[in-house]
């Protein structure tokens, strides 16, 4: 009887025995903008948790959007050739279409890069604290994450010397975000290029996430350097600066051979045609680009200075549209502050779940002057 | 000197040494609808190569589309909860949101299923000829494809007895498409359920692609059976019957535990918010659904009968919106016919690259009566 029962149990299908074992412990961290969760989903909520450029107005683009909609009964161009041509122009013909790959948001590009290069037990350096999806994608493939920490006492800038020491141990890849999320510091471009060169000599792939580089100015991007460094893959996004997270589109730059491998791995038709069409238009919006860069530079300065007047708040330097705030000297945890602000209909990003940060970090996005003042007032009332 | 030169060569970064070795031989097959390729891209082209329902008119849905556009500056709901609720209703509350996963086209769901279950050297049965992306996804992970062939002399219906023999050897998964692409035959639902049961006893996962099932009638779907069979994952699409390939959206049904694993693997924000919103509306379009089912049933019959009158063409039975044609008795290869028809601005799908078909197969989609007549006339002129 006992034996029979045992047999019955063992006959039951156990998914845990069938799935890739790397998935058993895999956990995803929460992100900003989770406004659809039951505990958050409420009307009138001001979302300062996602760092999206709010200056985009759709009206000037409605013609192209309508044109793209008439085509939704056809498959999108799986190679996004028109958009690639616009990107080539945007990058002043330094790149060619063969240097480019378009993806369903930069998260798609993170995943295909990882699927291309990261295998079981490969060692991968990740510069923390940073976007948690690198780590998630690496662990999903059974890769081993080696953390290199950006430190608060250095304003979270990269320590290139320390990072070189990590690379001397010959990991397979290194993941760097610049300007880094969640702090916004723009790392030195010459030092970054020197690092890429150092990595190349050691046959280490460099994954450089420039999702926020447009805020810092295009001259700070290393995407055109993919022609020199075949170990470099740079990803960019239409989500942040161009303000269309809802359409899911990003792009990457690399050596043609690298791009070919990534395209082998990517699923077919990764980007819908509405996103492809609108992205093209946005690249040509010179005024929107110029105004956005100027606005966020000035407004970041204003909000930083105002928040810094609140006793106990430390604001880190940024070249983006978001600010990282340390609350430790208020003795109030980020979780407490986040909850208190949510009661006043303001959603900010509790950063305590970032690897490399503790319980006292909050990220806020920069919005219009009115809303920013509301944010500042709410911080004031919660912290005092 | 010789040694020095050798060193220089070995110092050069070789991507082939760094990428996952499964990618080195990985090749993708071409698909229908490749209207963006230079050799095909021309105006006035009639695309019979993609099997998309052309009856969809956007006008009744413009309100929801415009609503969704006002939200593209926000991230989409990564869990597509509103759409899941609509699906629960569509399936008459037999399923719950926990049984469902939404993806960026069914190709996204193929990939996350394969990433969840297929590991290096796992044996996977694929019922051929069929959608080539199963094989591509499996090989990308290093899985070994075992082919089970549907035979032309049986009108490409599944041989369940033969398939059971394959399953007796205990592969990890089996991939079945029903109605199958490219032939359109609807396999017997009781035999299919019996097979799933047989697979469950042997702890074999069943991946059932029902991308075209709406054309055959919802009563032929096994998606609601995922409550009984925890080894069953059924995928569905908004691309084919609902006619929106350009927006990239599909869904899958499974046991909640299975769905949880798949969600762990899936990239965040897989579906844009325009697709989510429109998909919801389409599920509620009862007239569109009813009219489409009726139209394609009748029109398929008409086109089949007319094409069969052309000497040498054999048309296989279908329950979908497309027909598979054998041209062997015309002594003309599918490649020749395809090229000749393209000269007359008609794009059909040369099926000679399907595993399990030879040089004499063409697939055509059913369009309006006018266009279908044009297709028939063109076949006539090319074959005679």
CB proximity B228 to A under 8 Å: no
Q: Is A273 on the interface with B (CB under 8 A)?
A: yes
Let me know: does B289 contact B297? Beta carbons within 8 Å.
no
Task: Tell me the pLDDT of chain B (384 aa) as tens digits.
Answer: 455 555 554 567 899 999 999 999 998 888 887 778 777 777 789 999 999 999 999 999 999 999 999 999 999 999 999 999 999 999 999 999 999 999 999 999 999 999 999 999 999 999 999 999 999 999 999 999 999 999 999 999 999 999 999 999 999 999 999 999 999 999 999 999 999 999 999 999 999 999 999 999 999 999 999 999 999 999 999 999 999 999 999 999 999 999 999 999 999 999 999 999 999 999 999 999 999 999 999 999 999 999 999 999 999 999 999 999 999 999 999 999 999 999 999 999 999 999 999 999 999 999 999 999 999 999 999 998
Contacts of B255 in chain A (CB under 8 A): 15
User: What residue ranges in chain B does DSSP mark as E strands?
Assistant: 46-47, 100-103, 123-128, 144-149, 173-177, 205-209, 232-237, 250-253, 314-315, 322-326, 346-347, 349-350, 361-365
For residue range A334-358, list pLDDT tens digits in order: 999 999 999 999 999 999 999 999 9
Residue B91: phi and psi, rounded to 5, are -95, 25
- Interchain CB contact of A230 with B (< 8 Å): yes
Structural element, H or E, at residue B262: helix B256-265
pLDDT for position B33: 78
**How far away is chain A from the Cα of B199, in angstroms, using its nearest Cα?**
10
Q: Cα B309–B312–B313 angle (5° rounding)?
A: 65
B residues 15..74 contacting A (CB < 8 A): 15, 17-20, 23, 26, 28, 31, 33, 35-36, 47, 50, 52, 54, 56, 58, 65, 68-74
**Number of Cβ pairs < 8 A linking chain A and chain B:** 194
Which residues in chain B have their CB less than 8 angstroms from residue A133's CB?
267-268
* Residue B74: other Cβ atoms inside 10 A: 18
Task: Give kind and range of the element (H or E) at residue A124.
Answer: strand A123-128
Whether residues A244 and B11 touch (CB distance < 8 A) is answered with no
Q: Is B77 on the interface with A (CB under 8 A)?
A: yes
Q: Please provide residue B17's backbone torsions phi and psi, each rounded to the nearest 5 degrees.
A: -85, -20
What DSSP designation does B319 have? Answer: S
Alpha-carbon distance of A302 to A373, in angstroms, equals 10
Q: Alpha-carbon distance B166 to B163, whole Å?
A: 5
* Whole-angstrom distance, CA of residue A44 vs CA of residue A56: 20
A248 contacts chain B (CB < 8 A): yes
Task: Give the separation between CA A119 and CA A142, rounded to whole angstroms.
Answer: 6
Contacts of A246 in chain B (CB under 8 A): 68, 71-76, 272-274
Contacts of A272 in chain B (CB under 8 A): 246-248, 272, 274-275
Neighbours of B294 (CB within 10 A): 10
- Residue A321 touches partner B, C-beta closer than 8 Å: no
Q: Encode burial over A243-268: b for 16+ CB neighbours within 10 A, e otherwise.
A: bbbbbbbbbbbbbeebbebbbbbbbb
Say whether A243 and B73 touch across the interface (CB within 8 A): yes
End-to-end CA distance of chain B: 69
3-class state of residue B341 by DSSP? helix
Inspect the interface and report whether the beta carbons of A246 and B274 lie closer than 8 Å: yes
Q: Reply yes or no on whether the pLDDT at A5 is more than 70.
A: no
What's chain B's Rg over C-alpha atoms? 22
SS3 for B209-224, per residue? ECCCHHHHCHHHCCHH
B210 forms bridges with which residues in the sheet? Answer: none
Q: What pLDDT, on a 0 to 100 scale, did the predictor assign at position A59?
A: 93
Give me the count of residues in chain B.
384
Task: Give CA–CA dist B89/B115, Å, rounded.
Answer: 30
Q: In this complex, do A268 and B31 lie within 8 Å of one another by their Cβ atoms? A: yes
- Looking at residue B4, its pLDDT comes to 53
- Contact (CB<8Å) B243/A73: yes
Element (H, E) at A76: none
Residue with tokens 């708040």: A313
Inter-CA distances, B204 with B132, B175, B233, Å: 21, 11, 11
Q: What is the pLDDT of residues A132-148, one digit of tens each?
A: 999 999 999 999 999 99
CB B153 within 8 A of CB B171: no
pLDDT digits (tens, 9 = 90+) for A300-325: 999 999 999 999 999 999 999 999 99
Return d(Cα B110, Cα B134) in angstroms, integer: 7
Residue B68's closest chain A neighbor by CA? A246
By C-alpha distance, the chain A residue nearest B80 is A36
- The sign of the torsion formed by the CA atoms of A367, A371, A377, A378 equals negative
Residues of B in contact with A108 (CB under 8 A): 267
Helices (H), B91-175: 106-117, 133-140, 160-168
First to last CA, chain A: 68
Average pLDDT over residues A36-63: 88
Contacts of A222 (CB under 8 A, 6+ apart): A189, A192, A193, A196, A208, A210, A232, A234
Question: Smallest Cα–Cα separation from A139: which of A114, A109, A173, A107?
Answer: A114
pLDDT (average), residues A153-160: 98
CB contact under 8 Å between B33 and A75, yes or no, is yes
Q: Which residues on B lie below 8 Å from A264 (Cβ)? A: 23, 26, 28, 140
Instruction: Tell me, yes or no, if B268 comes closer than 8 A to chain A by beta carbon.
Output: yes
The full set of domains in chain A, from first to last, is 46-51+287-383 (3.90.1150.10), 59-284 (3.40.640.10)
> Given this model, what pLDDT does residue B11 score?
61
Question: What is the b/e burial string over B79-88, where b = at least 16 CB atoms within 10 angstroms of the residue's CB?
Answer: bbbebbebbb
Residue B332's CB is within 10 A of a number of other CB atoms, namely 18
For A80: left if phi > 0, alpha if psi spans -120 to 50, otherwise beta; the answer is left
Which strands form B314-315's sheet, in the order they lie side by side?
B314-315, B322-326, B361-365, B349-350
Question: For testing the chain B interface, which of A24, A43, A69 should be mutated: the one with the most B CBs within 10 Å?
Answer: A69
- Among residues B267, B111, B19, B72, the alpha carbon closest in space to that of A131 is found at B267
Lowest mean per-residue pLDDT among A99-103, A182-186, B32-36, B82-86 = B32-36
Distance CA A244, CA A222 (A): 23
What are residue B179's phi and psi, to 5 degrees?
-60, 145
Question: The dihedral of CA A90, A96, A99, A103: what is its sign?
Answer: positive
Mean pLDDT of A62-74: 93
For A3-8, the CB contacts below 8 A with 24+ separation are none
Residue B111 touches partner A, C-beta closer than 8 Å? yes
Mean pLDDT of chain A: 94
The answer, for B201 touching chain A at a CB cutoff of 8 Å, is yes
- In angstroms, what separates the C-alpha of A316 from chain B's closest C-alpha? 26
The vertex-B277 CA angle with B273 and B280, nearest 5°, equals 140
Identify the pLDDT of residue A11.
Answer: 61
Residue A174: pLDDT above 80? Answer: yes
CA-nearest residue of chain A to B103? A270
Cβ within 8 Å, pair A69-B50: no
Q: Of the candidates B79, B140, B245, which has its C-beta nearest A36's C-beta?
A: B79
Is pLDDT above 70 for A4?
A: no
Residue B179 gets which letter from DSSP?
S
Nearest residue of B to residue A199, measured between CA atoms: B13
Q: In terms of CA atoms, which chain A residue is nearest residue B36?
A: A77
């Amino acid at each position: 009887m006992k034996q029979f029962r045992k047999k019955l149990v063992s006959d039951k299908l156990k998914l845990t025995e069938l799935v890739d074992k790397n998935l058993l412990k895999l956990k995803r961290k929460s992100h900003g903008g989770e406004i659809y969760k039951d505990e958050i989903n409420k009307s009138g909520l001001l979302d300062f948790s996602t760092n999206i450029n709010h200056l985009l107005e759709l009206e000037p683009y409605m013609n192209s959007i309508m044109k793209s909609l008439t085509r939704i009964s056809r498959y999108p161009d799986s190679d996004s050739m028109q958009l690639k041509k616009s990107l080539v122009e945007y990058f002043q013909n330094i790149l060619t279409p063969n240097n480019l790959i378009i993806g369903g948001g930069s998260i798609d590009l993170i995943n295909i890069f990882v699927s291309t290069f990261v295998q079981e037990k490969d060692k991968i350096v990740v510069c923390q604290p940073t976007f948690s999806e690198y780590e998630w994608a690496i662990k999903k493939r059974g890769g081993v994450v080696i953390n290199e920490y950006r430190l608060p006492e250095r304003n979270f800038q990269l320590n290139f010397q320390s990072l070189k020491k990590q690379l001397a141990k010959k990991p397979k890849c290194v993941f760097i975000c610049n300007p880094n999320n969640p702090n916004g510091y723009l790392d030195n471009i010459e030092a970054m290029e020197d690092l890429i060169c150092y990595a190349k000599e050691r046959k280490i792939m460099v994954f450089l996430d420039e999702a926020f580089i447009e805020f810092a100015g295009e001259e700070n991007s290393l995407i055109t350097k993919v022609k020199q460094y075949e170990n470099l893959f740079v990803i960019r996004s239409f989500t942040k600066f161009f303000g269309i997270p809802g359409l899911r589109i990003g792009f990457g730059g690399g050596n043609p051979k690298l791009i070919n491998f990534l395209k082998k791995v990517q699923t077919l038709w990764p980007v819908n045609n509405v996103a492809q069409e609108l992205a093209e238009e946005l690249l040509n919006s010179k005024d929107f680009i110029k105004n956005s860069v100027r606005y966020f530079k000035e407004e970041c300065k204003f909000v930083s200075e105002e928040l810094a007047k609140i006793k106990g708040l430390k604001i880190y330097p940024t070249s983006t549209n978001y600010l990282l705030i340390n609350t430790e000297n208020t003795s109030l945890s980020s979780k407490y502050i986040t909850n208190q602000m949510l009661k006043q209909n303001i959603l900010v990003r509790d950063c305590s779940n970032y690897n490399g940060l503790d319980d006292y970090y909050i990220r806020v996005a920069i919005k219009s002057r009115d809303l920013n003042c509301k944010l500042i007032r709410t911080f004031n009332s919660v912290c005092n």
